[in-house]
Chain A
Amino acid sequence: MKTLAGKAIIPVTLAVTGFVIVCCLLLYSIIKSDMTGMATLHATSLANVVVKATRYSMLTTDRETLRNIIKDIGEQQDVEHVRIFNKQGVIEFSSDAGEVNRLVDKKTAGCIGCHAGPVPVAKLGAMRQARQFVNGKGREVLAITAPIYNEPECFGASCHFHAPGNKVLGTLDIGLSRKPLRDALATMRGRMVVFTFLILVLTVGGTAALLRRSILTPVRIMTDYCKEMAGGAPDRELPGFEGELEELALSLKTIAGVMKKERKSAPGCADKNGR
C-alpha cells in the first residue's frame, strides 16, 4: 500500500496482532500444562483414596467386598476403568469382568516407568505415575497407577503369606476420562479467541481512528488546499490545526497570501477560474 494510511497502519496491525497471538498461544499452552498437572494430581489423590478404601478388604481377604467396591467405582461417571493386579501382572479385580485373570504387559505405558530396569522402581512421582492414551472405545483417558505397598499389617498377619522383603504387593490402575479437561480447555480457548479479537479490534481500530483524526484528515485538507493553490489562489481559509500541523497550515496560508498579492499586482493576469 502506497498511501500514508497504509504505511502507518499495516506495520502497527502486523506487530500488535502477531504479538498478541504469540502471547495468547503461549498463555494457552501454559494454562493447559497447569490444568493437566492439576488433573493428574487429582487423579493420583483419587487413586490413593481407592487404595485406602480397599485396604481393610485386602487385609481381611474379603474378595467379594473388594470386587463390589471396584465395580461400583468403575460405574462412576468419567471413570473409564479400575483394576488391581498382583505383582506378577495378573489382573485380580477389574470394573470390566472380562479382564480378570488376564496378564498385563510390563512394557506398556504406565508399567515401563517402574519396570524399565532389571529391578523395578518402588516409588514414582505423581506425574510419572500418569499416562494418557485413547482406549478401545475411542475415549481419551488419563490413567494413574498407584502401587499397593507391603505394610507391617500385611506381612505380620497370621493369615497372610507376604514376605516382609516384598516392597510392592500389587498395583491399582484407575483411568479417568479426559473429556471434562478437554471441555474446560475448549471453553477457555473460545474465551481467549474472543478476548484476543476484542483487544485487536480496539488496538488497531483505535490507532486507525486516531491517525485518521490527527494526521490523515488534516493532510488531506492541506493537500486539497495545495491543489487549489496550484490552480490559482484558493478562495477559502484553512481550518485550525494543532501542533506541527498548525505551523504547516500557517506556512501554506502565507504562501497563498503572497501568491494572491502577486496575481493582483500582475496586470491582466487571471487564474484559471478567471479571478
Chain B
Amino acid sequence: MGFGQKEPHLVEAGDELTEKQRLRRESLDKIRFFRLKSVRGAWSVSAFLLVSIGALIDFRFLPSLPEKMKAMLGTPPSALMISGLLVLYTFSAIILVLSKMMRGAEPSGGIVHVIYLAAFYGFYHLDGALDDNFWAVFAAGLTVLGLLCYHNRIRFNALVREEQEILRIMDDDGKGPGGRRAPFGKRHE
C-alpha cells in the first residue's frame, strides 16, 4: 500500500454511511410526500363545498347569462334527463373508485369529480330546478369525494407505513428481524 492511499475498509465504511444517509433522506422525503398526498382528497371536498355554497344561494354572485347567449345555447335539458345522468354518473364514479380500491391502484385527487358536480349544479340552475335537486347533487358529491378521500387516506398511509418500516430496518443496522437485508430494491416511486 502506497503513501497517501486510504485504507480500503475505511473507504467502504464511509461510502456505506453516505449511501445509508441518502436512502434515509429519500425515505423521509417520500413519507412527507405521501402524507401530503393522503390529504389531497380534502382539497377536493373543500372545493366542492365552496361550489355547493354558491349553488345553495342559486349562484347569485354570478352575472346572469345575456339573452343572446341563452338563445344560442338553446333549451336546457329537462330536469328528468339531468337526474338520470346524475344517477348514472354517481353509480359509475362509485364503481370506479371501488374497483381502484380493489386493485390497489393510485387514487385520483378528485378535482375532475368536482368539475362534473359543478356542471350538474349548472345544468339544474339553467333548467330552474336547482332548488328541488340541490341535495341530490350534494349527496352524490359527498359520497364520491368521501370514497376518494378514504381511498387516498388508506393507500398513502399504507405507503407511509411501508417507508417507516424501511427506516426502522435501516436503523437496526440494515438487518430485519430475520437477519435479512431491508428490501431497498422494492421501493415505490
Residues of chain A touching chain B, judged by Cβ–Cβ distance below 8 Å, are: 7, 10-11, 14-15, 17-19, 21-23, 25-26, 29-30, 32-33
Contact = CB atoms under 8 A, between A and B. Distances in A.
Interface stretch (B21-29, B46-54, B79-87, B170-178): B79-87
Most buried by A among B87, B101, B136, B150: B136
| 4 A-B pairs with the lowest CB-CB distances in the bound complex, closest first | A18-B143, A25-B136, A29-B132, A26-B83
Contacts of A21: 139, 143
Contacts of A32: 132
Contacts of B133: 25-26, 29
B107 to A, nearest CB: 12
Contacts of B146: 14, 18
A25 B94 contact: no
Q: Is the interface of A mostly helix, strand, loop or mixed?
A: helix
Contacts, number: 61
A64 to B, nearest CB: 44
7 contacts: A14-B143, A15-B94, A18-B140, A25-B133, A25-B135, A29-B133, A29-B136
B150 A23 contact: no
Interface size class of B (residues with CB under 8 A): 20 to 34
B108 interface: no
Nearest to B136: A25
A203 B7 CA distance: 71
Contact of B87 (A7, A10, A14, A23): A23
B142 interface: yes
Of listed A18, A21, A30, residue having the most chain B CB within 10 A: A18
A18 B98 CA distance: 13
Interface in B95-152: 97-98, 101, 129, 132-133, 135-136, 139-140, 142-144, 146-147, 150-151
